[in-house]
Structure 1
Amino acid sequence: MFESLSHLALQQYWWIIISVLGATLAFLMFVQGGQTLIYQIGKDKDERTMLINTLGRKWEFTFTTLVTFGGAFFASFPLFYSTSFGGAYWGWMILLFAFILQAVSYEFRSRPGNVFGARTYEFFLFLNGLIGTLLLGVVVASFFTGSQFSLTDLNETRWQSPLRGIELLFNGLNLTLGFAVFFLARTLGLMYFLNTIEDENIDQRIRKHLWYNAIPFLVFFLTFVVWLMLKPGFAVNPDTSEIFMQPNKYFLNLIEMPVDLVLFLAAVVLVLYGIGISLFKKSDAGIWFAGSGTFLAVFSLFLIAGFNNTAFYPSSYDLQSSLTIMKASSSHFTLTVMSYVSLFVPFVIAYIWFTWRAMNKKKISKDELNSGEAHFY
């Protein structure tokens, strides 16, 4: 089946897979967002325990998706992996270390004999939420702003900044999307709390803090989108593979890919609807609408970055070193074999769905905490 597809068709297929994984990861970052709100929403030990335990039931989904996303990127587009991880390694190391802190914190926070105390691990969870969301947004934004690298004839990476990826934090557009992801994750985290915790006092605080996070998210995201639509983009000449700067490239990508435009507009509507029913209708189902909108928004952004003759990992130092899905991909054979493996993805999604429902059949309450029946993080 996949053997009959052209190399370009396989490259496009795997860029769609990568986009799906990236979009799923962005939605699951509600765990990180919730971790930054533990002390703002939870005012005593029991309330904080409820918050951490409802997040603890989902943190492994986020961690697993991150690993799968990285592994799929490495296998399907190895030149991106070697260029980015080999050049911007300080930025990636900080991000990965933040996720190690998360895993350690959920494992040891409530363990008997914990010499550091629960507050230490709660602080680590806050760091993971802050660093993880901010850096994820910055990395995705660099797909549109570029990074300072060049490639030799043998595809050896020459990173031009001694900061090795940290310099991405000094770009205004990168930070705009970084803060948009940060506040979006917090907004989704608040809506997830509404959906999984049964406590009137926590409910009131959540709806108040939704205003404090949803508004900054909308401001930062709108700023990023307007800026993106107006800025020149890294285009590829399909005949010569030459990279050049094209005015309003990403706006043109949306217009020239109408399906992607519909997905992006649907994403905006879903996110706004999820926020709206959480604030004005006192609904606890907002996470499903806003989460679906988050998935579609990130998915459409990945398509804008990689399709329609666009360099998805551009170099702001040497335009011709920029990476396209054609230039950065694995061989036809490798992509073919991996495509058969990808057929198991629907089964994995089904497993996650049933596991999710089983974990969330009943909302967490103080009665459950006092019963001692549940596993505590």
Structure 2
Amino acid sequence: MISYIFLQHYWWIIISLLASLLVFLMFVQGGQSMIFSLPKNNLHKTMIVNAMGRKWEFTFTTLVTFGGAFFASFPLFYSTSFGGAYWVWIAILFSFIIQAIAYEYRSKPANLLGQKTFDIFLFLNGSLGPFLIGVAVATFFTGAQFSLNELNQVKWATPWHGLEALLNGRNLSLGLAVLFLARTNGLLYLINSVDDRVLAERSGSKLLMNSVVFLVFFLFFVVTLLVSKGFAFDQVTGTVTIEKFKYLYNLLQMPQVLIIFLAGVTGVLYGLGITIFKGSRKGIWYTGLGTVLAVFALFLTAGFNNTAFYPSSYDLNSSLTISNASSSHFTLKTMMYVSLIVPFVIGYIWYAWKSISNKRITEDEMKTEGHIY
């Protein structure tokens, strides 16, 4: 018989993998955040929008899948976070809704709002989406201000309902790190997918600044995380306590997770290095894989080794763990069998990705192609 503990850990791994893929795929948002600053002319802007437009549905679908899987496997987190910190989640969802609208109507003839309005929509999604997701994920480590009663009904301790997370410097640092990682990956993707010397040179010139800003905020978050107190969960008593250097101990006590994290960081740095110093077009593949590995390891650090993955800084014992927030044994087991088709889905996504990206975007294509965003 498959144990309940195994299923809880299995589904946290699935959630962590989906989250890491989402962070990588937000290179689409990163590219959108630069549609006013990067292009030299309107044709270049159209090339950027269409380069990102070819992949925006992958990001959107992964976001929906991540949310659905989180809801099904850990419903108490979903009800607690969405029921309490709803302003942050509403802002995130709104930014992705206007993205979908923008790609659908940006180039439609005689649209009522005008193309520039939809460009602003893309810019807002590109800037706010990654930043707010980063801030929300940071609360997995810094805590949120909520309490749960015996019926698991959530009560938020502030009238800001999630927006108070923006007042925490560590939350802001991860939000900005995710934003500038998305911008960095967006630039690397453009260098790889657009066949235009001027646009590639402009992307390369912005790559160094964006990558340095990302590294500064990322290193600040990681260092403060490793030296900070964490939220430890006692499996026997069910109590949550504050423990010094909890996340550092998690990495040391789970060396395989530490190896994954270091491999991810190395991949990101290597991809940046070969692009900045050698002019390679292939940097996106190394930084992409590195992004997935590093984020995956951070999520494992947040939820494994008897750690509260959604701690309450207001009421410690209301904190959520993979043990007390998960669905029933039957639900997790049934979903596990369904999840066995995931490799086939990933294979199809890879095939679709390669089919869409079989040639680089050119100026001539933007002038003659029947369907452009």
TM-score normalised by structure 1 residue count: 0.98
Give 1:370 shift: 2.2
SS of residue paired to 1:259: helix
- 2:37 counterpart of 1:54: no
Give 1:372 shift: 2.5
- 2:372 counterpart of 1:376: yes
Give 1:15 shift: 0.3
Aligned counterpart for 2:207 among listed residues 204, 207, 210? 210
Q: 1:296 matched to which residue of 2?
A: 293
Give 1:115 shift: 2.2
Aligned counterpart for 1:87 among listed residues 78, 84, 103? 84
- What pairs up with 1:221-232 in 2 under 5 angstroms? 221-232=218-229
- What pairs up with 1:110-149 in 2 under 5 angstroms? 110-149=107-146
Give 1:133 shift: 0.6
SS of residue paired to 1:40: coil
Q: Deviations for 1:202-230, whole angstroms, at most 9, x for unmatched residues?
A: 11111110011000000000000000000
Q: Deviations for 1:118-142, whole angstroms, at most 9, x for unmatched residues?
A: 1111111010011101011101110
Query: Which consecutive segments of 4 or more residues in structure 1 shift more than 6 A?
Result: none
Instruction: Output the amino acid matched with 1:283.
Output: S
- What pairs up with 1:1-377 in 2 under 5 angstroms? 4-373=1-370, 375-377=371-373
Within 2, Cα distance between the matches of 1:139 and 1:124? 21
Instruction: Output the amino acid matched with 1:123.
Output: I
Within 2, Cα distance between the matches of 1:249 and 1:327? 20
Within 2, Cα distance between the matches of 1:237 and 1:357? 47
SS of residue paired to 2:343: helix
Aligned length: 373
Q: Deviations for 1:74-118, whole angstroms, at most 9, x for unmatched residues?
A: 000000000000001111001100000100000000001112211
Within 2, Cα distance between the matches of 1:137 and 1:127? 15
Instruction: Output the amino acid matched with 1:223.
Output: F
Within 1, Cα distance between the matches of 2:326 and 2:366? 50
SS of residue paired to 1:326: coil
Instruction: Output the amino acid matched with 2:165.
Output: L
Within 2, Cα distance between the matches of 1:325 and 1:167? 25
Instruction: Output the amino acid matched with 2:329.
Output: H
Within 1, Cα distance between the matches of 2:74 and 2:100? 28
TM-score normalised by structure 2 residue count: 0.99
- Alignment RMSD: 0.7
Instruction: Output the amino acid matched with 1:166.
Output: L
Gaps of 5+ in 1: none
